[in-house]
Chains A and B, each alone.
Chain A
Amino acid sequence: MTVKTIIAFGATSAICVALLRRYAAAGASLYLVARDESRLAACAADLAARGATVTGTSAYDFNDAHRHSAALDDAAAALGRIDLVVVAHGSLPEQADCERDDALVRACMEDNLTSAAVIMHAAARRLEAQGSGTLAVISSVAGDRGRKSNYTYGAAKAGLDAIAQGMQGRFAGSAVRVVNIKPGMVASPMTAHMEQGPLFAHPEDIAPRMQRAIERGSRVVYVPGFWRYIMWVIRLLPTAVLARLPI
């Protein structure tokens, strides 16, 4: 299905921007939601210059759970029909910091799971009422197995997996699609502090594959694709072996 109207939550994220730029080039209409007002304005102007029609923006912290359905209403009014809802926000705390700081654990869950869960449920109602449309959520390979290097973040992302799977069941046989996007390591502000090894991809490199998965309505897509095999191996590793690996 070709996507012409989009509401994006976390529209200032580097990965989301790379995806939206592809839709902008194709002349899509966008409604953009993000936390920071100036960043949002900068991204909106960029996408407009690249060919998108930006029909509206809304800036607020996504932990304000009551604002999401209003943003969706606003977007539906501006766009008419919503072909695609993207949920792209997230935050990656250091695992070692989470082990010391309970408030950070909670913030990690709120940024990555609670807020996204509310958005997904609200968006699902909207798409169900429309009778069609695609909900794409960016989870992570980190959710595939609890690993000592990032299990707090991984747990939140695994929560998104469960929601996506459940919704795929709920909408089976209808024209509503739920696409679970699992990036591997991507060079973005979130990972800027890390050593950028050869496994790192760039947002513009993974955007085409994300777009294809969205257009096909794939249930799960690893980006880049080789992460599917890496995670397959990691899921099969015996616990004792995994514990000894530095990952």
Chain B
Amino acid sequence: MGRPLSSGSWGRLAFAGAARTAVADWRFEALPEADEGDSLLARGWGRSYGDVCINSGASHLDTTRLDRFIAFDAQTGILRCEAGLTLAQILEVVVPRGWFVPVLPGTRFVTLGGAIGNDVHGKNHRHAGSFGCHVRSLTLLRSDGERYRCDSEHNAELFAATIGGLGLTGLVLDAEIQLLAIDSAHVECEDLLFSSVADFARLYEESSDWTYTVSWIDCSARGGSVGRGIFSRARHAAGGDRDPGNSAPRLAVPFTPPVSLVNRFTVDVFNRAYYTAGRRRGGVRREHFQRFFFPLDGIDGMNRIYGRNGFYQYQCVVPFGGGVAAVEELLRRIAASGEASFLAVLKAFGERASPGLLSFPRPGWTLALDFPNRGAKTLQLLASFDAVVRDAGGAVYPAKDARMPADMFAGGYPQLERFRPQVDPAFSSAFWRRVQA
């Protein structure tokens, strides 16, 4: 079974650690006293890739013991629970009773508080919007000692700031979410090959009656093959059992190799094999939802394969207006760089507005890439991506970021000035200090 990361983050980059970690055990307790000059940051399971969940030199507040259900109405699918409960734990309880978490990221080992803090998205953004769209209300504990019940009518500004608020508005103690009714734990899904980004865009347009769509891009493809990949689409199946299938990972990466196992050569081999396997897997099939949603959760410690220096993720969104040109440009730059991205994922965000002031999802194409950390070379490549994204009027996702400059953040988040007054003066993060610089 997955475990919370008690320090650091998923990318395993070397950030300076927190000076202290306090544990939040019960939702009716007070926040720990912060000394002069100290600050607090709530942490979930540390599945963010960079420093939004890191408060270097200051205090972390471990929320993973706030893992209690408060109320679950199996008639209406309204669930209230504490913020440290993971989506995995929620699914285990609600799936057998015919309910589903309406927005799921690519791992189930994230907490409710983390899902709110980054206003995470899933493969169904076109239909469901971001996670925050399903949060009916939440309770926020701030350093003034008050508990704020927030929803779209009460403390509405604080509610909007807290969704996607990167933990900066206080400690989310609990939240109430609306679940999605399902008939079965299985999905119907289908994989289709595409040969270019334009081809991907066409498949996406044609798939509006599929709830979930996502695609994998072969980043080692060269020349005329740049932009080829596999498009997957799925919808909840009817009939069948509702076994939550929350099994332990089948494989594990037992130790961290000194150098990244992900390099140009291995990615080449993997991608070719994967693409070829995709070609053979035709037609609509039935799969358990865990397999479709969380393929990476099957391997424990997957993030270790990038070696001791860790890795960078880069996820951006570019508006539909510019077509797929910016995505194509990014892929060309990867091909030219000689760097390898193992998991390149291309999705789309639909028109449904995200409720958070700093929410990342907005209409457009969203590309997620990962690169083993090779120091300055990698950072240069990512900076060159920034230029493309900036020109296209896009934004970079803080949950995956460890290096974007302040102007990139300000440019991508137009509500930043409206957000600022809602920040709790006793809360901060390494990310926040970095993007203020």
B93 touches which of A43, A49, A192 (Cβ 8 Å):
A49
* B275 sits at the interface (CB 8 A): no
Number of inter-chain CB pairs below 8 Å: 36
A46-B28 contact given A196-B6, A204-B1, CB 8 Å threshold: no
Instruction: Find chain B residues with CB under 8 A from A14 CB.
Output: 65
Given the complex of chains A and B, what is the CA–CA distance between A189 and B23 in angstroms? 9
Instruction: Find chain B residues with CB under 8 A from A49 CB.
Output: 69-72, 81, 93
Given the complex of chains A and B, what is the CA–CA distance between A97 and B92 in angstroms? 43
Interface membership of chain B positions 10-27, coded 1 if the CB is closer than 8 angstroms to chain A and 0 otherwise: 000000000000010111
Instruction: Find chain B residues with CB under 8 A from A50 CB.
Output: 69, 93
Taking the nearest CB of chain B, how far is it from the CB of A19, in angstroms? Answer: 15
A42 touches which of B3, B6, B26, B93 (Cβ 8 Å):
B26
* A106 sits at the interface (CB 8 A): no
Interface membership of chain A positions 134-149, coded 1 if the CB is closer than 8 angstroms to chain B and 0 otherwise: 0000000000000000
Q: B68 to A42, Cβ gap below 8 A?
A: yes
Residue of B nearest to A44 (CB): B68
Taking the nearest CB of chain B, how far is it from the CB of A186, in angstroms? Answer: 13
Residue of A nearest to B28 (CB): A38
Report B49-84 residues with CB < 8 Å from chain A CB.
65, 68-72, 81
Taking the nearest CB of chain A, how far is it from the CB of B286, in angstroms? Answer: 26
A46 touches which of B3, B25, B69 (Cβ 8 Å):
B69
A192 touches which of B23, B27, B68, B69 (Cβ 8 Å):
B23
Residue of A nearest to B80 (CB): A49
Taking the nearest CB of chain B, how far is it from the CB of A195, in angstroms? Answer: 11
Given the complex of chains A and B, what is the CA–CA distance between A204 and B25 in angstroms? 16
Main DSSP-derived SS at the A contact region:
helix
Report A15-49 residues with CB < 8 Å from chain B CB.
25, 38-39, 42-43, 45-46, 49
Given the complex of chains A and B, what is the CA–CA distance between A4 and B365 in angstroms? 52
* A125 sits at the interface (CB 8 A): no
Instruction: Find chain A residues with CB under 8 A from B28 CB.
Output: 38, 42
* A93 sits at the interface (CB 8 A): no
* A51 sits at the interface (CB 8 A): yes
Report B25-50 residues with CB < 8 Å from chain A CB.
25-28
- Category for how many chain B residues contact A: 10 to 19
B70 touches which of A45, A51, A192, A204 (Cβ 8 Å):
A45
Q: A45 to B26, Cβ gap below 8 A?
A: no
- Category for how many chain A residues contact B: 10 to 19
Most-contacted residue by chain A among B1, B26, B68, B71 (CB, 10 A)? B68
Instruction: Find chain B residues with CB under 8 A from A235 CB.
Output: none
Residue of B nearest to A38 (CB): B28
Report B72-114 residues with CB < 8 Å from chain A CB.
72, 81, 92-93
Instruction: Find chain A residues with CB under 8 A from B65 CB.
Output: 14, 189
Residue of B nearest to A47 (CB): B69
Residue of B nearest to A17 (CB): B68
Taking the nearest CB of chain A, how far is it from the CB of B212, in angstroms? Answer: 27
Residue of A nearest to B70 (CB): A45
Taking the nearest CB of chain A, how far is it from the CB of B90, in angstroms? Answer: 10
Instruction: Find chain A residues with CB under 8 A from B27 CB.
Output: 42
Given the complex of chains A and B, what is the CA–CA distance between A168 and B360 in angstroms? 61
Instruction: Find chain A residues with CB under 8 A from B92 CB.
Output: 25
Taking the nearest CB of chain B, how far is it from the CB of A51, in angstroms? Answer: 7
* A121 sits at the interface (CB 8 A): no
Q: A43 to B68, Cβ gap below 8 A?
A: yes
A45-B71 contact given A50-B93, A189-B23, A204-B1, CB 8 Å threshold: yes
Q: A46 to B70, Cβ gap below 8 A?
A: yes
Q: A45 to B68, Cβ gap below 8 A?
A: yes
Given the complex of chains A and B, what is the CA–CA distance between A49 and B3 in angstroms? 23
Most-contacted residue by chain A among B6, B27, B72, B92 (CB, 10 A)? B72
* A216 sits at the interface (CB 8 A): no
Given the complex of chains A and B, what is the CA–CA distance between A183 and B92 in angstroms? 26
Taking the nearest CB of chain A, how far is it from the CB of B242, in angstroms? Answer: 13
Instruction: Find chain B residues with CB under 8 A from A38 CB.
Output: 26, 28
Instruction: Find chain A residues with CB under 8 A from B71 CB.
Output: 45, 49
Given the complex of chains A and B, what is the CA–CA distance between A205 and B2 in angstroms? 11
9 pairs, A vs B, C-beta closer than 8 Å: A38-B26, A38-B28, A42-B26, A45-B70, A46-B70, A50-B69, A51-B93, A204-B1, A205-B1
When A and B form their complex, which 5 residue pairs have the shortest distance between CB atoms, in order from nearest? A49-B69, A46-B68, A49-B72, A46-B69, A38-B28
Q: Add 10 more A-B contacts to A42-B28, A49-B70, A189-B25 (CB < 8 A).
A: A25-B93, A42-B70, A45-B68, A46-B69, A46-B70, A49-B69, A50-B69, A51-B93, A189-B65, A205-B1
